[in-house]
């Protein structure tokens, strides 16, 4: 059974950092395009970052470049999202997702992800 389990969220003050983790069960993260998404209350879900199947090619939402770093550890079958200089507007539920497609375009555009975790909450106070 394929499953994604996120962790690492929490309540932090503005300017702090968090590292979110997403462990995959039932498949290898190295075979999939993996991504991080977030959804704030009252807003649509948005793509934050993705990492292509090759493990080297990464993509970021234009508005979020610079503070977010996506990476993965194949040995631990885990995806990470490092968030630095947190802002109150980063408050959201963060989800990891997997796309078995080898489409570079879908990965770049953060579209077509059929597998999702339950999310981890990030709350940033000013």
- The CA distances from residue 35 to 3, 47, 59, 91, 96, in Å, are 14, 8, 9, 18, 6
How would residue 1 be classed by pLDDT, with cut points 50, 70 and 90? confident
Whole-angstrom distance, CA of residue 81 vs CA of residue 17? 11
Q: Per-residue pLDDT tens for 10-58?
A: 999 999 999 999 999 998 888 899 999 999 999 999 999 999 999 999 9
């Amino acid at each position: 059974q394929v499953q994604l389990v996120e962790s690492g969220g929490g309540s932090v003050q503005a300017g702090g950092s968090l590292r979110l983790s997403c462990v995959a069960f039932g498949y290898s993260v190295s075979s999939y395009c993996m991504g991080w998404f977030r959804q704030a209350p009252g807003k649509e879900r948005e793509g934050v970052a993705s990492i292509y199947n090759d493990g080297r090619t990464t993509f970021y939402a234009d508005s979020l470049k610079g503070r977010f770093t996506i990476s993965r550890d194949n040995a631990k079958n885990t995806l990470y999202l490092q968030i630095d200089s947190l802002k109150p507007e980063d408050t959201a539920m963060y989800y990891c997702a997997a796309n078995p497609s080898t489409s570079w375009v879908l990965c770049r555009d953060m579209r077509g992800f059929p597998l999702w975790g339950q999310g981890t909450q990030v709350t940033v106070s000013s």
